[in-house]
A and B are shown apart, each in its own frame.
Chain A
Amino acid sequence: MTKQDQIATTEHRIVGTRPVRPDGADKVTGKAVYGADFYLPGMLRGAILRSPHAHARIVSIDTRKAEALAGVKAVATNADFPRVEMDEIDAGEAGINVDRAAQMCLARDKVFYEGQPVVAVAATSPEIATAALDLIEVRYEVLPHVIEIADAMRSDAPVLHDDLDAKGPSNIAARLDSSTGDAEAALATADVVATGRYTTQAVHQGYIEPQACVASVSGDGQAQLWCSSQGAFMVRSVVAAITGMNLADLRVTPLEIGGGFGGKTTVYLEPVATILSKKSGRPVKMVLSRDEVFRSTGPGPGAEIDIRLGATKDGILTAAIVDMRYQVGAFPGAGAGAGVMHALGGYRIEHKRVTGCDVVSNMPSTHAYRAPSAPQAEFAVECAIDDIARQLGMDPIALREKNAVRAGDTSFSGTPHGQIAFMETLAAAKGHDHYSAPLGPNQGRGIAAGWWVNHGGESTAMISIAEDGTAVVATGNPDIGGSRASMAMMAAEVLQIPMVKVRPIVADTASIGFSMLTGGSRTTFATGKAVSEAAAEVVEILKARAAMIWGVDASRVEWRDGEAHCLADGRDEAPLGIKEIASKASKTGGPISVEKSVYPHDAMPTYAVHICDVELDPETGHVGVTRYTAIQDVGRAVHPSYVEGQAQGGAVQGIGWALNEAYTFNKEGRVDNAGFLDYRMPVASDLPMIDTLLVEIPHPTHPFGVKGVGEVPIVPPLAAVANAVSAAAGMRMFDLPMTPARIHAALNAAG
């Protein structure tokens, strides 16, 4: 077995250790309550009738027979939603357009993809709800459909929406252009140029838990929702907007979330369940099937990317032209924006032009998927850099080191980069024993780098000290992969008490101040900052209470080893522990509790370099990953096991993206592989151990030096695997996924 390494910096008592997570026992015993595990008395079950067509006009909907079926308590269509303005809700990486979100819950005049919801039913059992769907008559006028990017951009393509493109009706939803210098001229004088058209397919986040919720609307207009999402406040915002409620009337309680990866930063079921509950007067539970998840929730977009990259013979990148087209699905979703930002943002290139556009087509509307839109763009760039290195006979890491951005360089936003750690991450990769290990026959090694901007965002934390000196830490961020642990650890570190004395919870929307959703790699960074600052204020209160007990000035109290120490001259007081202070709280001023809201804007980008070895069976085109190492700049790893887990999970999602995962559509534009059998995510036997090396260059202005870690690890694998396969095959692979059939065909075409 190989190792998990760490290049550590500062020392703490708790931060940087690996305690058992506070929510662990419930999660290994089956007690944890996820979206579908919640039940209420008198609860109905909802079901949804979906469009069988990829593109059609809804002519009529007749629900009378369904409503007459015994056990059916409510039927809903889009007409039950109050018509809303085209309001954007800021939900992090992908803003949510309320009107479009409503149409993805229940279609209005047209259906834009197979699987789009059309009618919803609530009944006394799932069987009756399903039976009722068969009684609903929807008449459609089927329209021509289009799926692929190139087809959707043709002048004679069926146009989905006539109001997207300012230049007149087309399927182009956005055009972006970012230029510096004269890229064409610089390319013409470059010593070497790498050229290619790279393609990737639409891929799903693949969270194992399908979306699920229970809605209960009271007669007075107040409502509650229990659901699995990446942000209860996001759910509240969108559901209230779609259903026309006051935000304070809707209380959203987050249940455990079974994976999201960006896919649960919007809602598909909750507004429907809410309307059904309102109409029936009873709680309504709705759960998606896996088939529905694939057909009706937002995957990550496919992309076509043309790149020309030029360099001098010394390996200085001088010019780049990148043009990207993102397949955003039925409505503008996760598009080229972040791709344009990220494509060349890791390198110093004097002359560059990056253009991008979002192309709508008749597939599910795309949504955020872990570092949304960056993996596609950086895949093309990192492959082209590999080609330059090969042309120059230069070590691919050395080439990147020559060109990598570093502190002081101008960032994409125009401000200079702070203490970014791309150079340190590259150096760590170059020094890793994997990089110099020998390869066997038919094996190839690829490396690729990647970066992600990371987000800050609003976070609230509340810390209450109980009478016995134990602490409750409440935040508004769902725990998607260990954040309760990191919050408790940071609080315990500041309070200087054992972690088992700190109990973290995820609060509902009525119990804590606003918190942006868990996404953008922001929670340990931003919410951790709120927790740290709240804990620091608690320490000040504890010192003041000790001062009061001792009758000294608060400035003469020091908090050390979880106890107040009296520094006042001539006083020889025994230290007061948190328990003693807390037990006297009622006599020293009352409850000890702090709520802290923060909105940091100083999130720093992080960098990753991945090394991938593959073995190719040249006769069949099969590729096996034989060794994989993820080297990542993490700022400070609060709980290294869960930081490593992020690097490993992101790497494997990227490996799946590179080798096998892709939406496929049939001639009618229907999803042809809406299940885990044919949407082929990696299984345990497909993989080696995923080694990690955490590079800890702390964030200079975060209390614990934390940087975002969750998203960047999915950026390098596409190119790392492609570069490895290309090395093994002796030819450049341009198209993902690199299935056995595709590799076999490429090898045969090359003779």
Chain B
Amino acid sequence: MSKQHIRATVNGDAVDFLCEPTTSLLNALRDELRLTGSKEGCGSGDCGACSVMLDDKLVCSCLVLAPEIDGRRVETIEGLAQDGQLHPLQRKFLEHGALQCGFCTPGVLVAAKALLERNVDPTEEETRYWLAGNLCRCTGYDKIIRAVLDTAAELRQERLPA
């Protein structure tokens, strides 16, 4: 097995690393780039804890081969807060207590951000179906859904003309 040289943009930074052709994007992020915010809960696309954005599309990084990201853009939980300022979703998750153990939280936040970028006024049902790929075993989802809907309301408020 010879390693492949991958160049990509991760959270706005140019990165390059060597990996086996079979390495998943998740393992490359974690083991090569030490971006351990993306978690492995299943390795089969069933839990969403490894959710990242790949060229603006929400994907499970465990279901992407690292060589596939050559020349492409990846955004992870580590890129959600900007300049030390929490994203409104991060802030609302803390205010609502929408996390207990916090392990699924990075994936849920990345997925929720992708939802609100498409639809800033989702219904509860739309939010629940959008997040169906993100398992949480602690919260029963209640406070997660409330935090996402509350963030959406705040974002809509901000967009109103003064």
Given a CB threshold of 8 Å, the question of whether A touches B is answered with: yes
Residues of A within 8 A of B (CB): 1, 18, 20-21, 23-25, 27-34, 36-37, 39, 127, 205-210, 256-261, 287, 289-290, 480-482, 639, 641-642, 644-646, 648-653, 675-677, 681-685, 687, 689-690
Residues from chain B with a CB closer than 8 A to the CB of A21 are 94, 97
| CB-based contact B94/A651 at 8 Å | no
| CB-based contact A208/B41 at 8 Å | yes
| CB-based contact B137/A259 at 8 Å | yes
Given pairs A30-B77, A481-B101, A653-B140, 18 additional interface contacts (CB within 8 A): A25-B90, A28-B99, A29-B78, A29-B86, A30-B106, A34-B39, A207-B103, A207-B137, A209-B41, A258-B102, A287-B40, A641-B96, A642-B100, A645-B139, A645-B142, A675-B46, A681-B137, A689-B124
Asked whether B61 is an interface residue with its Cβ less than 8 Å from the other chain, the reply is no
- Which of B38, B81, B105, B131 has the most C-beta atoms of chain A within 10 angstroms of its own C-beta? B105
**Given the contacts A29-B37, A259-B103, A481 and B43 also touching, CB distance less than 8 Å:** no
Residues from chain B with a CB closer than 8 A to the CB of A39 are 34
Residues of B within 8 A of A (CB): 1, 20, 30, 34-44, 46-47, 49, 76-78, 80-81, 86, 90, 93-97, 99-106, 109, 124-125, 127-129, 131-146, 149
**Given the contacts A28-B86, A648-B142, A684-B144, A677 and B34 also touching, CB distance less than 8 Å:** no
| CB-based contact B39/A18 at 8 Å | no
**Bound Cα distance A641, B97 (Å):** 6
Partner of A208, one of B37, B44, B103, B145: B103
Residues from chain A with a CB closer than 8 A to the CB of B38 are 30
Nearest chain B CB to A422's CB is how many angstroms away? 23
Nearest chain B CB to A659's CB is how many angstroms away? 14
**Given the contacts A209-B41, A209-B101, A28 and B93 also touching, CB distance less than 8 Å:** yes
Q: For the complex, would chain B's binding face be called helix, strand, loop or mixed by DSSP majority?
A: loop
Residues from chain B with a CB closer than 8 A to the CB of A36 are 30, 36, 39-40
| CB-based contact B101/A683 at 8 Å | no
**Given the contacts A258-B101, A290-B44, A689-B142, A30 and B37 also touching, CB distance less than 8 Å:** yes
Partner of A209, one of B103, B141, B149: B103
Partner of A27, one of B102, B135, B139, B145: B102
Residues from chain B with a CB closer than 8 A to the CB of A207 are 101, 103, 137
| CB-based contact B132/A258 at 8 Å | no
**Given the contacts A645-B139, A683-B135, A685-B128, A676 and B103 also touching, CB distance less than 8 Å:** no
Residues from chain B with a CB closer than 8 A to the CB of A259 are 100-101, 103, 137-138
The 10 A-B residue pairs with the shortest CB-CB distance, nearest first, are A30-B37, A258-B103, A641-B97, A27-B102, A652-B140, A481-B100, A648-B140, A676-B46, A30-B77, A37-B36
Q: Which residue of B lies closest to A257 (CB)?
A: B101
| CB-based contact B137/A24 at 8 Å | no
Nearest chain B CB to A15's CB is how many angstroms away? 15
**Bound Cα distance A256, B149 (Å):** 28
Q: Which residue of B lies closest to A260 (CB)?
A: B101
**Bound Cα distance A37, B40 (Å):** 10
Nearest chain B CB to A519's CB is how many angstroms away? 14
Residues from chain A with a CB closer than 8 A to the CB of B104 are 208, 258
Q: Which residue of A lies closest to B23 (CB)?
A: A127
Residues from chain A with a CB closer than 8 A to the CB of B77 are 29-30
**Given the contacts A208-B137, A681-B137, A29 and B80 also touching, CB distance less than 8 Å:** yes
**Bound Cα distance A32, B47 (Å):** 19
| CB-based contact B100/A649 at 8 Å | yes
Residues from chain B with a CB closer than 8 A to the CB of A33 are 36
Nearest chain A CB to B31's CB is how many angstroms away? 8
| CB-based contact B43/A290 at 8 Å | yes
Residues from chain A with a CB closer than 8 A to the CB of B132 are 683-685
**Bound Cα distance A27, B102 (Å):** 6
24 contacting pairs across A/B (C-beta < 8 A): A24-B99, A27-B102, A28-B80, A28-B86, A31-B37, A32-B102, A34-B39, A36-B36, A37-B36, A127-B1, A256-B103, A259-B138, A287-B40, A290-B47, A480-B101, A481-B101, A641-B96, A641-B143, A676-B44, A676-B47, A684-B129, A684-B144, A685-B132, A689-B142
| CB-based contact A256/B102 at 8 Å | yes
**Bound Cα distance A645, B138 (Å):** 8
| CB-based contact B100/A675 at 8 Å | no
- Which of A24, A261, A650, A689 has the most C-beta atoms of chain B within 10 angstroms of its own C-beta? A24
Residues from chain A with a CB closer than 8 A to the CB of B137 are 205-208, 259, 261, 649, 653, 681
Residues from chain B with a CB closer than 8 A to the CB of A689 are 124, 142, 145-146
| CB-based contact A684/B44 at 8 Å | no
**Given the contacts A208-B135, A256-B102, A28 and B78 also touching, CB distance less than 8 Å:** no
- Which of B40, B93, B137, B146 has the most C-beta atoms of chain A within 10 angstroms of its own C-beta? B137
**Given the contacts A30-B36, A259-B138, A684-B131, A677 and B44 also touching, CB distance less than 8 Å:** yes
Residues from chain A with a CB closer than 8 A to the CB of B135 are 208, 676, 681, 683
Nearest chain B CB to A479's CB is how many angstroms away? 9
- Which of A209, A260, A644 has the most C-beta atoms of chain B within 10 angstroms of its own C-beta? A209
Partner of B99, one of A27, A644, A646, A682: A27
Residues from chain A with a CB closer than 8 A to the CB of B134 are 684
- Which of A30, A210, A261 has the most C-beta atoms of chain B within 10 angstroms of its own C-beta? A30
Residues from chain A with a CB closer than 8 A to the CB of B101 are 207-209, 256-260, 480-481
| CB-based contact B103/A687 at 8 Å | no
Residues from chain A with a CB closer than 8 A to the CB of B141 are 652, 682, 684, 687
**Bound Cα distance A290, B62 (Å):** 13
| CB-based contact B145/A684 at 8 Å | yes
Q: Which residue of A lies closest to B90 (CB)?
A: A28
Q: Which residue of B lies closest to A287 (CB)?
A: B40
Residues from chain A with a CB closer than 8 A to the CB of B128 are 684-685, 687
Partner of B42, one of A23, A482, A645, A676: A676
Residues from chain B with a CB closer than 8 A to the CB of A681 are 135, 137
Nearest chain B CB to A679's CB is how many angstroms away? 9
**Given the contacts A28-B94, A652-B140, A683-B135, A34 and B103 also touching, CB distance less than 8 Å:** yes
Residues from chain A with a CB closer than 8 A to the CB of B140 are 645, 648-653, 682, 687, 690
